[in-house]
Structure 1
């Protein structure tokens, strides 16, 4: 569902990808690392009270960077790390010029709650919030204003939330108490600048005895991720290496060009992923913004940055398991021979993997890989084309269809390439207490702070949400959406002699969200200089 690499190998270490200099020193550390060695975390949602908040008090962003240095991608943090991203209104508050703001991608400029984007994401349709959104609508956003080009119907005007977020600061540490003390220190340092923490979430990434990180429903999370690559034969594209220092080859199943994740690099369409630019002036040169990819008279503000999608997703654990208990009991009552149908059996088919992350196959489970971890190098076209093991509409097949949408084996490689053009790099973590009894509603708020990085919000994140997760006719299905992320409805499980139909409820709801810009470290230096 959300986090980065959250399974820890108990055998030999799997090689991971890294950025080569100078990109590793210019890119925020969260891009390359999920900071799995720092299990405690906190998300601080910041609001700047006004454009004059720094008058006579010094720049708040520079103060923040002193008390919370932003980690680069050039090494592992020892005890703590931080990352920061900004909403469109946050960049406006930071003093970025209208000319520069206009060079950002349209989804970021419009924000997540622009009318058309709400519809694509399945959040609000025909002026009504949908079931996968909390009652009354989301609690926070960047509150991006309506642009001059917007002419929405008066009855469906731009959504505004009660809380406006200008920046998201992510803190990671070894212990909860240490992260909380760090958070308190940051809050005190920002107070004189009229910058407030208007929302916060304690984040968690704990591994069990098998080295598996689990989300609140109990399933292994973060099993599958795209793997960026460069081109060692072209100097300007020799950007990615493995942790052993060797060039990173293109992974046959999950390889994506670096430009799918980072702006300014070659993407899946053999183009440089476009990003924002600023005027070439003394301030921009002092921040060491590069010329690379910018037109004459401008410097590249986007290189080695990314667009970050953030969605606070509440999980209703008791509702999930109680609903599946009821469904299993109904099926067994109707078919006494279905003794194997339990809540666990149904949950695994909703997800598409068993609780430890191993893929469901027609004859059981896909064997673990050489690291004794869930196998991830596979395609559906040959392994399970009809969804007899892993149902066609399961969460893992919708979130990443691989080659499963191919009509035959001959077209499978082309379909895999097409699917990989829409991959996202996930960096989220769960929040809230772990339930002591998954069948009892304790009233606590818990869920996932979904975070993903992509260079093209519309082609990557929004495409996945609209075309795969919420598509009612996905993969020959009819009138079904994602059984885990979607609204209540039916879910088909192929099984002899024909199929079983499960009525799923709304198990996850959006509580807040926005599109953010994750700047490179030079871009961050430039933004901090705007407040002088």
Structure 2
């Protein structure tokens, strides 16, 4: 289930120039593939055109009520990939610093909780991540193949053996359809020397109740922001959405470049220089790029694009449930009357919701909301300020504290608004088969391909990761981090009259990741002309 909140779409002119991934997780297409590709040196953009001819990138205009897709596709690029396609040095310099530096710049790795003091942390797979964009790699690589870069080649960056220059996302109804799409993509890419160096299956097994579950068994993807735009670029229910939703309202500019964000300004986006001597107006005009409103002589390459954060997260399902069972046994051994504290009871508090996705509140889970789906309109301050239902350190509360951090009642709205300024638009899907016996590891690789859209990587994704999820002093807590995605540690479970503490381990490990640029359709056409 990608978003039980009211559906929204972009106005017609905007939708025609925006990739559909911005407005849809393609929830009706149950399966898919993520193709991580590497480009040869001086790749140019002909391969982009060839791929788009065989598998057209889906425009946002093709989604919405009554528009059912049999297949869908999206494409995004790392900074190193855009360099190999042929974007100029000046254009590359106009991208956001976080994107240019990449996720594997040492300061960012420390900020994200992946690496510290020259060592990978336990929240990373053994031996270190498999892939990244290696965005600091030099243009010419002294290596047997043009698709890898050794660690000695990257200054202040940590290199991976596998270099990814672009991500192609394919969505379909069946496994056979998804496999066919992969072969179509391969046929388009190989003549241009573009290699698929890594791929993951994408799964969204929606149940009859309308929810889908991640591998730990909990309903996933339940809370999403609801964009609005004062100039009418967002529509819902047949009309423009110009005012924010009371709980989830976030300006469109937080997720799409070229529109006003939470600070009432347009986030800076990349630009390409004009070509005044070209007889036909040059590539920018042929591609349909607009002249930039402020940078004279440049075209707006970022408009209707976004930054896509991608992290491949391996989930140790057996370790999670064995830890929950052990914690419940320890508590019951010390307190025989605590018969209500089962593995499910503890796991729900680690997540912050029960398995069906209902928020925990004092006295029990919250009742269902719209369409009998889990209620997502809740706020914390009035009904569970001290975390006796949904613990202060739970994953749900850390990932989006809503008004929970308000020190007093008069500041609820202010803190809710502040929290919404850090929201991300989630597009994650799980990969790998479900574990049949939750207590016994079968050795298979399974997890979540975390993907989210934002226009300010540092203020949105990185802030959430560093300041909320991995902050050991979050919300009056002390030396505790996120119990679901953090490292080994402790978690406090408030109960009346006494609190309880449980020990948690590392259940989720990063296997690869990078920051990508998801271009608008005009920018994609520009790349194809290079």
The interval holding the TM-score normalised by the smaller chain is over 0.9
Contact kept, 8 Å, 1:48 with 1:194, in 2: the verdict is yes
> Secondary structure of the residue that 1:41 maps to in structure 2?
strand
1:36-95: CA deviation from partner (whole Å, max 9, x where unpaired): 0101110000101222x56xxx92111111111000111235200000000000000111
The correspondence of residues 287-326 of structure 1 with structure 2, limited to 5 A, is 287-326=287-326
Of 16, 38, 58, 1:25 maps to 16
User: Structure 1: how far apart are the matches of 2:240 and 2:113?
Assistant: 43
1:314-359: CA deviation from partner (whole Å, max 9, x where unpaired): 0000010011111111110010011011100000000000000000
Q: Which moved more, 1:478-487 or 1:244-253?
A: 244-253
TM-fit CA distance, 1:378: 1.6
Q: Which residue of 2 aligns with 1:102?
A: 93
Contact kept, 8 Å, 2:271 with 2:292, in 1: the verdict is no
User: Structure 2: how far apart are the matches of 1:244 and 1:193?
Assistant: 44
Contact kept, 8 Å, 1:18 with 1:243, in 2: the verdict is no
> Secondary structure of the residue that 1:371 maps to in structure 2?
helix
Of 62, 81, 87, 1:75 maps to 62
Contact kept, 8 Å, 2:55 with 2:184, in 1: the verdict is no
Q: Size of the alignment, in residue pairs?
A: 509
TM-score with structure 2 setting the length: 0.93
Contact kept, 8 Å, 1:277 with 1:294, in 2: the verdict is no
Q: Which residue of 2 aligns with 1:11?
A: none
User: Structure 2: how far apart are the matches of 1:117 and 1:294?
Assistant: 30
Contact kept, 8 Å, 2:80 with 2:137, in 1: the verdict is no
1:286-323: CA deviation from partner (whole Å, max 9, x where unpaired): 00101243411001000010000000000000010011
User: Structure 2: how far apart are the matches of 1:283 and 1:175?
Assistant: 38
Q: Which moved more, 1:372-381 or 1:99-108?
A: 372-381
TM-score with structure 1 setting the length: 0.93
User: Structure 2: how far apart are the matches of 1:293 and 1:380?
Assistant: 41
User: Structure 2: how far apart are the matches of 1:80 and 1:188?
Assistant: 17
Contact kept, 8 Å, 1:127 with 1:156, in 2: the verdict is no
User: Structure 2: how far apart are the matches of 1:185 and 1:146?
Assistant: 30
> Secondary structure of the residue that 1:26 maps to in structure 2?
coil
Contact kept, 8 Å, 1:264 with 1:293, in 2: the verdict is no
User: Structure 1: how far apart are the matches of 2:435 and 2:182?
Assistant: 25
Flag the 1:188–1:429 CA change in 2: closer, same or farther, 3 A. same
Flag the 1:239–1:367 CA change in 2: closer, same or farther, 3 A. same
TM-fit CA distance, 1:272: 0.6
Q: 1:59 aligned to 2:58?
A: no
Q: Which residue of 1 aligns with 2:160?
A: 161
Q: Which residue of 2 aligns with 1:266?
A: 260
> Secondary structure of the residue that 1:273 maps to in structure 2?
coil
Contact kept, 8 Å, 1:217 with 1:317, in 2: the verdict is yes
Flag the 1:250–1:41 CA change in 2: closer, same or farther, 3 A. same
TM-fit CA distance, 1:24: 0.5
User: Structure 1: how far apart are the matches of 2:183 and 2:410?
Assistant: 58
User: Structure 1: how far apart are the matches of 2:468 and 2:69?
Assistant: 39
The correspondence of residues 166-315 of structure 1 with structure 2, limited to 5 A, is 166-231=165-230, 237-247=231-241, 249-281=243-275, 282-315=282-315
CA RMSD, Structure 1 to Structure 2 (Å)? 1.8
User: Structure 1: how far apart are the matches of 2:123 and 2:184?
Assistant: 36
1:449-506: CA deviation from partner (whole Å, max 9, x where unpaired): 0000000000000000000000000000000000000001000000122111100010
User: Structure 2: how far apart are the matches of 1:147 and 1:405?
Assistant: 44
Q: Which residue of 2 aligns with 1:234?
A: none
User: Structure 1: how far apart are the matches of 2:242 and 2:37?
Assistant: 37
Q: Which residue of 2 aligns with 1:426?
A: 426
Q: Which residue of 1 aligns with 2:120?
A: 129
Contact kept, 8 Å, 2:219 with 2:357, in 1: the verdict is yes
Q: Which residue of 1 aligns with 2:508?
A: 508
1:156-187: CA deviation from partner (whole Å, max 9, x where unpaired): 84200010000000000111111111101211
TM-fit CA distance, 1:147: 8.9
User: Structure 2: how far apart are the matches of 1:500 and 1:67?
Assistant: 57
Flag the 1:132–1:83 CA change in 2: closer, same or farther, 3 A. same
Contact kept, 8 Å, 1:331 with 1:338, in 2: the verdict is yes
Q: Which residue of 2 aligns with 1:10?
A: none
User: Structure 1: how far apart are the matches of 2:424 and 2:165?
Assistant: 23
Contact kept, 8 Å, 2:38 with 2:196, in 1: the verdict is yes
Q: Which residue of 1 aligns with 2:39?
A: 48
User: Structure 2: how far apart are the matches of 1:30 and 1:70?
Assistant: 10
Contact kept, 8 Å, 1:121 with 1:466, in 2: the verdict is yes
